[in-house]
Amino acid sequence: MLLRLNHVALAVPDLMAASATYRATLGATVSEPRALGEHGVTVVFVELNNTKIELLEPLGDASPIAAFLAKNPKGGMHHLCYDVADIRAARDHLVAAGARVLGNGEPKIGAHGKPVLFLHPGDVHGTLTELEEV
């Protein structure tokens, strides 16, 4: 079902400072910021040869990233994202196996313009897991 690691998401308290670190200090290519109102975040992607790093900053006080940063003020790893061929088939398989899909269970459009779902971290050994259809 899982095809490859799509990205590792890091919550950061200051998106511009984190972008500058990846761009200037680490020499990486960093995308322009993009606000995702439905997800409550502003994101940039650090492009690597084999995957991406997604840097997330809260978009408003109700953002799930704001709650994460309240517990982890310096930021940290927020979730892993894996590619899947058919997100609804993956969801149905996982739900049948006892996994919980966050939200209403229906895919939302993610930062790459493709359908995404999140799995409860308690069902994936403590790691918030995103699935993205490719």
User: What is the rounded (10 degree) CA torsion for 97, 2, 109, 127?
Assistant: 70
Whether 132 is catalytic is no
DSSP state of 132: E
Q: What are phi and psi of 93, to 5 degrees?
A: -65, -45
The β-bridge relationship of strands 2-11 and 52-58 is parallel
Catalytic residue among 38, 54, 106, 130: 130
Rg for the chain (alpha carbons), in Å?
15
The β-bridge relationship of strands 52-58 and 115-119 is unpaired
Q: What are phi and psi of 17, to 5 degrees?
A: -65, -45
Q: What residues are labeled active site?
A: 130
